[in-house]
Amino acid sequence: MTSNGRRSPGARRRRASEKLRRLSGADSISPLLKQSSFLLLILIGTVLTAVIPSIVVVDVPRLIAALVALLAATVWAALCSRIPALFPAGAVAAALDFVTLALIGAGTERAEPLLLTAMIVPLVWFATSYGRQYIAYSCAGVAIVQLGPVLGSGASEESPEELLPAVFAILAYLIGAYAINKVARHSRHRYNDIRAREQASSEDLSRGAEAQQALLPTGASPLPDYDVAGICLPAKAVGGDFYDWYPTREGFGFTLADVMGKGVGAGIIAATARAVVRSARNNGDPVEALRRTDDCFSAELGDITSFATVFHARVDGENGRVQYADAGHGLTLVIRHDQTWQRLESGGLPVGTGFSHEWETRELTLNHGDMIVSFSDGVLDLYDGTLTAIDEVARLAAGARSAADIVEAIETLSHRTAHSDDVTVLAVRRR
């Protein structure tokens, strides 16, 4: 606000924009759809007028004027439906509908039952609009329809009591319009509250997803003689998979883990597991990382029923020696430079199962041109979801010329295939 207490032009624009947003969001029903229902009702009433002999046409020009008002209302409703800026002004069509009914009443005799029925449509559309003023607008429309024919015929001058039924109908419709507006206002507030909560929840999930992606390594390989690449594609905004790599004294370590479940809960557990695995970076035995993670699941996360499969390895950069430990994962391949491959079987239970278990450190040598590819079971779902899909992943990896190639191939496949599980892959290749 400015120093004299007035809103600045920018604040006024924001306030106007917010009001327009509320008005536009207050009623998502297309004005043309509303008008179409009234138009259909009038067409049916026209047919009934021709069929029922008691309804007499007394003023053709007024009926022509009613047709013009009806067409104008329909055209305006169509414009409001096609031009977003005009959407809040769609209630003008309902006002023209009242005029249409008043002209029809003035141009016919004994058509009151049809008019009373048809009047419900514009009344409802008016009364459900945003703002209490539409109650008065609805009442004014009803008054035009009810009093117009009586006053126009002059019958009220000879017999003032002729106005009493019209006044009674106006009061009845006024009460109905008030009730409709109150219910619509209450429903609108509930809808806006739900939408606001959903938007806040969506924003929280987006921030959580950004934070989770920020935890994944994105830098260059820890050693110049090795290619390292990875990707994690959560099935939801936040996933339970993670991969990691980081330098160590002898070379570098890398990890891929898959926490049971999906969503925010699994994502929080995955972030915790990642931190625990990293806490063992100065210990040369990869089993130590699994022990610490299992202790964390048993102690800090003991009240949460969850577990995780983990593949953790440490690479000696000079000689290519790889020491690794597998906690129930079993989805890691070694692709040799001659395109042969082998699967590294799991050496024990997942971490967090609650069972006493000791994992085993195993060893292999990564020669020049060899590559290790570890992936989550979500990658299997990109094929047929069974373990036979491991052969497909192996053939795909054998044709890759770098770690980034196999990661990009899995990413492309995931974009073409619907998957309900997190898709994560980590590749390490010795040049």
Average pLDDT in the 48-53 region? 78
Mean local confidence (pLDDT), 292-319: 84
Region of residue 5 (left: phi > 0; alpha: psi -120 to 50; beta: else): left
Domain termination site, one of 155, 170, 200:
200
Sheet holding 371-375, edge to edge: 226-233, 423-430, 371-375, 332-335, 341-344
DSSP β-ladder status, 226-233 and 423-430 = antiparallel
Look at the block and give the residue holding tokens 């409001």. 80
| Judgement on whether residues 194 and 238 belong to the same structural domain of the protein | no
Q: Measuring CA to CA, which residue among 335, 352, 348 is closest to residue 286?
A: 348
Q: pLDDT tens digits for 352-388? A: 887 877 899 999 999 999 999 999 999 999 998 888 9
pLDDT grade, residue 149 (50/70/90)? low
Is the domain of 278 the same as that of 400?
A: yes
For residue 411, give the amino acid letter.
E
Q: Which one-letter amino acid corresponds to residue 304?
A: I
Query: Does one domain contain both 221 and 332?
Result: yes
Q: Quick one: 121 and 252 in the same domain?
A: no
The range of the structural domain enclosing residue 285 comes to 216-430
Tell whether 247 and 372 lie within a shared domain: yes
How much is the mean pLDDT over the chain?
Answer: 85
Coil vs helix vs strand at 326: strand
**Residue 350 has what DSSP assignment?**
P
- pTM value is 0.63
Task: Give the CA distances from residue 250 to residues 223, 312, 315, 322, 371, in Å, rounded to whole numbers and listed in that order.
Answer: 11, 15, 7, 11, 19
Q: What is the pLDDT of residue 2?
A: 45
Beta bridge partners of 365: 321
- Per residue in 12-49, pLDDT tens? 555 544 444 444 444 567 888 889 988 998 888 888 87
Return the pLDDT at 286: 94
Q: How many CA atoms lie within 13 A of 367 on its CB side?
A: 7
| Residues 180 and 59 grouped into a single domain | yes
Whether residue 323 is contained in a domain is answered as yes
Lowest-pLDDT range, 294-303, 306-315, 355-364? 294-303
Q: Is the pLDDT of residue 430 over 60?
A: yes
Q: Are both 239 and 273 inside the same structural domain? A: yes
Instruction: Indicate whether 186 and 94 sit together in one domain.
Output: yes
10: confidence class by pLDDT, cuts 50, 70, 90: low
By mean pLDDT, which of 99-103, 142-146, 423-427 is the weakest? 142-146
Same domain, 222 and 105: no
Of residues 343 and 162, the one with the higher pLDDT is 343
Q: Is residue 400 part of a domain?
A: yes
pLDDT grade, residue 412 (50/70/90)? very high
- Indicate if 139 and 243 belong to the same structural domain: no
Query: Would you say residue 186 lies in a domain?
Result: yes
Please report the DSSP string for 140-186 in residue order. HHHHHHHHHHHHHHTHHHH-GGGHHHHHHHHHHHHHHHHHHHHHHHH
Residue range 417-431: mean pLDDT, rounded: 90
What number is the average pLDDT over the span 215-237?
87
CB 134 within 8 A of CB 127: yes
pLDDT of residue 12: 55
Q: Does residue 122 share a domain with residue 235?
A: no
Q: Domain of 283: which CATH number?
A: 3.60.40.10
d(CA 158, CA 286): 104
Range 212-237 average pLDDT: 86
Query: Which residues make Cβ contacts (< 8 Å) with residue 344, sequence separation at least 6?
Result: 311, 324, 326, 330, 332, 333, 334, 362, 364
In this model, does residue 156 exceed pLDDT 60? no
Q: How many domains in the chain?
A: 2
Residue-level pLDDT at 5: 46
Residue 184 in tokens: 């619509």
Element (H, E) at 57: strand 56-57
